[in-house]
Amino acid sequence: MKFDILIGLGAGIFAFLLVMGYNVLPIGLLIAVGYFFWTFVLSRQVIKNGNGVSIATTAIDFEDIGGQSVAKKELQEALDFLLYSDRMKALGIRPIKGILLSGPTGTGKTLLAKAAAKYTNSAFLSVSGSEFVEMYAGVGAERVRGLFKRAREMVRKEKKTSAIIFIDEMDILGAKRGSNVSHHEYDQTLNQLLVEMDGLKADQGAHILVMAATNRPEALDAAILRPGRFDRQVKVDLPDKEGRIAILKIHTKNKPLAQEVDLEEIAHETFGFSGAHLESVTNEAAIFALRENADEITEHHLHEAVEKVMLGEKLDRKPTEEELQRIAIHESGHALLAEVVRPNSVSQISIRSRGNALGYVRHYPKDDLYLYTQAMLEEQIMVTLAGALAEEQILGTRSTGAMGDYEQALNLVEKMLLAGMSSLGVTDVSLLSAEQRQPVTKGILADLEERTMRIIEKNEQALMQVTEILKTEESLSGETLRAHLKHIA
């Protein structure tokens, strides 16, 4: 970026001198020599020095990675081709050249690649896909050739039989050709990678396996994914509840946990968290314990850490008395309706500002569900609408605090349309015009608003009592909330 600015600045000065009548020929020759020197000497030297390439003897083992039992099993099966190459050769099995790890960010793709190197006792080279892309023609392709050359040199130097080249952000290097119309350097670099992978043979003295990671597999060029290049595609997904428990146990090994800490409960609350999120939860919990000069990490610290990772740090924002009343009514509406339609679902209700939220209600996920019925989606929409409707019922007006709720409700309605759960039936929603979709969306929301309002009107007294308690306490656990509701009833 800085180099581009210098080029633009130099061109401006050059044009100014030319207009003023100066002889710019010597300056032009000097610039040309400098450009030639950078392109063909310095940039090649950068490639030779291995810019961006990380070489490491990894100490990470598969046992150090939790929550990915399926991915680990599939990956280990593919890596056995490196460990038992003689047996594979006797059976006439072609060696695997590439393994693609795909999945959301933070799920452990890089850790799996490092563990693969230890599992196979291979030399390990790691590089980011962005390191290959330059504005100068041929630089990226040269870096690809240098990377494979370096891998072979490392195998000889370390007296090993194999090397693993790990390319992170593969969607940058391996994007569909033609997608960067004005920059053919991308396509040249990708072509060189394909050539290098096609040239990998087990009888070259060193078996090189290319591993790559991406969270956008749909953006990759089809030539990369064909058999003979990236032969195996391993899905590294978000961990389920058992996986989250395993990850939490790994990241709390070196931390003093209080005896009452129940990691299963923390795992239950963190549905949708990746391994990176869970590591952050345990780290933040330890920081909270440090702030309080505590010798152990308690459940309170872990719950607080979950909220921080999910919503952000507490803010010193001080709402006015009128705003505090509205926020308390809004959050009480969410919590009350959640307990009516899904009993025992509220984990925490708070009117303390955190992140971008003036208040929030945190719910226990109903197990790890991956399929939702129409009734479940409608219940979720009703809970999101309840905050604004509670404001309207008690105060007579709604506020801008419900904008995020409406966005969430519209996303849920969109899921209903896509799943054929509307009056439109099963149809290609993308082909419908706004005039066709809007009445259906409004109809669904109007019906659910009416049902939600009936529940709020019926439980208005309980809503107001929870609001007053919340204004005093600022935060209530789900158990405390349910105890109050039971007492009110």
439 and 404: one domain? yes
- Active-site residue set: 331
Helices and strands of the chain, counted as H and E runs: 20, 9
Q: Which of 281, 311, 341 is the last residue of a domain?
A: 311
Closest CA relative to residue 127, chosen from 110, 152, 105, 102: 110
The pairing of strands 98-102 and 230-235 is parallel
User: Which residues are bridge partners to 476 per DSSP?
Assistant: 349
262 and 326: one domain? no
- Is 333 inside any structural domain? yes
- Is 339 inside any structural domain? yes
Per-residue pLDDT of the chain (489 residues; tens, 9 = 90+): 444 555 666 666 666 666 666 665 666 666 666 655 444 444 444 344 445 555 545 578 888 888 888 888 888 888 887 788 777 778 777 778 889 999 898 888 999 999 998 888 888 988 887 777 655 556 777 888 888 888 888 888 888 888 899 999 888 888 777 665 445 566 778 888 888 887 776 555 678 889 999 988 888 888 888 888 888 889 998 898 889 999 999 999 999 999 999 999 898 888 889 999 999 999 999 999 999 999 999 999 998 898 888 888 777 777 888 989 999 999 999 999 999 999 988 888 988 887 777 888 888 766 566 788 999 999 999 999 999 999 999 999 999 989 999 999 999 999 999 999 999 899 888 888 888 899 999 999 999 999 999 999 999 999 999 999 999 888 888 888 888 888 665
Number of domains in the chain: 4
- Is 316 inside any structural domain? no
- Is 454 inside any structural domain? yes
Whole-angstrom distance, CA of residue 161 vs CA of residue 476: 60
Give the H/E segment covering residue 2.
helix 2-19
- Is 15 inside any structural domain? yes
Contact indicator for 213, 102 with CB cutoff of 8 Å: yes
Up-side HSE of residue 130: CA atoms within 13 Å toward CB? 1
Whole-angstrom distance, CA of residue 101 vs CA of residue 112: 9
Contact indicator for 329, 466 with CB cutoff of 8 Å: no
Whole-angstrom distance, CA of residue 222 vs CA of residue 177: 9
CATH code assigned at 301:
1.10.8.60
Contact indicator for 31, 13 with CB cutoff of 8 Å: no
337 and 278: one domain? no
CATH code assigned at 388:
1.20.58.760
Q: Is 354 helix (H, G, I), strand (E, B) or coil?
A: strand
The pairing of strands 207-214 and 98-102 is parallel
**DSSP string computed for 14-55:** HHHHHHTT---HHHHHHHHHHHHHIIIIIHHHHHHTTTT-EE
Contacts of 300 (CB under 8 A, 6+ apart): none
90 and 190: one domain? yes
- Is 98 inside any structural domain? yes
Q: Which of 216, 235, 254 is the last residue of a domain?
A: 235
- Is 67 inside any structural domain? yes
17 and 60: one domain? no
93 and 216: one domain? yes
338 and 464: one domain? yes
Q: Which of 212, 235, 258 is the last residue of a domain?
A: 235
Q: Is 362 helix (H, G, I), strand (E, B) or coil?
A: strand
122 and 216: one domain? yes
381 and 285: one domain? no
- Is 375 inside any structural domain? yes
Range of the domain at 21: 2-48
**Three-class secondary structure assignment of 51-107:** CCCEECCCCCCHHHCCCCHHHHHHHHHHHHHHHCHHHHHHCCCCCCCEEEEECCCCC
304 and 410: one domain? no
Whole-angstrom distance, CA of residue 463 vs CA of residue 458: 10
385 and 477: one domain? yes
371 and 484: one domain? yes
